[in-house]
Structure 1
Amino acid sequence: MTPIVYLAGPEVFLPAGLELIERKRELARVHGFEPTQLPAEMLPVEAEDAYDRGVQISMLNERRMDMATVCIANLTPFRGISADVGTVYELGYMAAQRKAVFGYTNDPRPYRDRAADHYAASGPVEPDGEGVLRAPDGQKVEDHRMADNLMLDGGISLRGGRFVRAAVPAAWDDLTAFEAC
C-alpha cells in the first residue's frame, strides 16, 4: 500500500505557492508517496464570512491529515525566527496520532543564532551570571543547538523521524532538504 503523505508548510502564502506545492507533490510521488489533495486554502470553500471560511479550511485540513500516514513539514522560519504556527499545529496533530513525522528547514542556523540576530539591534543574547542564555529583555533563549523549539526537534526525533537542515541558507523554492526527508 502506498503511504499517504501530508505536506505541511506555509507555501500557501507565497506568491508562487501553488507551483511550489505541485513540485513537492510530484517529488513525493517520485519517492513512492501519494500526497493528500491540495491544501484547503487553495480549494473552493463555501462560507458566508471570513471566520466561517477559516473554520472550514481548518476542518478540511484536519480531514486530510486524518487520511495521511506520514507528515513532512516545512519548518523554515516564516514571518519571524521560528516555523509557521499553522505548520507547527499540523505537525503536532499528526504526531499526536502517532503518525510518522519529518521536518526540514532551508535555514541551517540553530535557533539560538536566529534569536541573536533578531535581538541584535537592542543588545546581545548572552549568558547571565548563572550561564543561562538571555535576550536583552531578560527572556531565556533556548540553547539546545536545535533547528527550532525543542518540542519540534524532540517530537520528530522521538517518533523516529528526521529534521533535515539545509547545508547552506536556501531559497523557499529549493527542495533539496525536502527531498532528503
Structure 2
Amino acid sequence: MAQVLKRFFDLIVSSGAILLLCLPLFLIALAVRLESSGPALYWSKRVGRRGRIFLMPKFRSMRTDTPVVATHLLEDPDRYLTRLGRQLRRSSLDELPQLYSVLVGDMSLVGPRPALFNQRDLIELRRENGVDQLRPGITGWAQINGRDELPIGEKVAFDVEYLRRRSFTFDLKILFLTAWRVITAHGVSH
C-alpha cells in the first residue's frame, strides 16, 4: 500500500508541477538553445530500479563536447560549463526535466540518485545492499546529507538508511530539506 501511495503522490506532484511550470520550462529551454549550440536537453544514461538503464533528461548545462563521466570526475568541470549552465546548476533548475522521468515511472520524487551507467562501483555497492530495488529519485537522503561531496561508501550508507526508514513522512521531510538546500544553494560544487 505504501508503494501505491508513493507512486500516486509522484504522479500528482510531477504532473501538477509540469503543468504549473510549462512556461518557465519553455523559457529555460529557449535560453539554453540561444546560449550555445546543441539541444536544450541532455539525456543521460542512468541506472534505475533493478539495474535497468533509462534515459534521464536534464537541461543541458555543459558544452556538447563534454566527456560522458560524472562531473566530479572531470579534470576541470568549470571549463565545460556554460554561463547559463552554472546558474541552472546552482539553482538546481537543470533538474526540472526529471519531472518527466517521475511521470513515466523511471524515477520517483525521493529515492537514491540514479547512478550513471558507467559508475560501476556505486552500482555494485547498491546492488549488494539491496538499494537497487528502489526507484531512483530526483532527490534523496544522500543528496541532502552531502550531495556530490560524499564518497561512494557514505552515499550508499545513506541510501541503505533511506531503504530502512522509508515512509511517506520521511519522503516529505526529505522534500522539505531539499527545498531548503536548493534555496540556500547548500552543497552545490559545480
> How does the TM-score come out when normalised to structure 1?
0.27
Which is richer in helix?
2
CA radius of gyration, larger in: 1
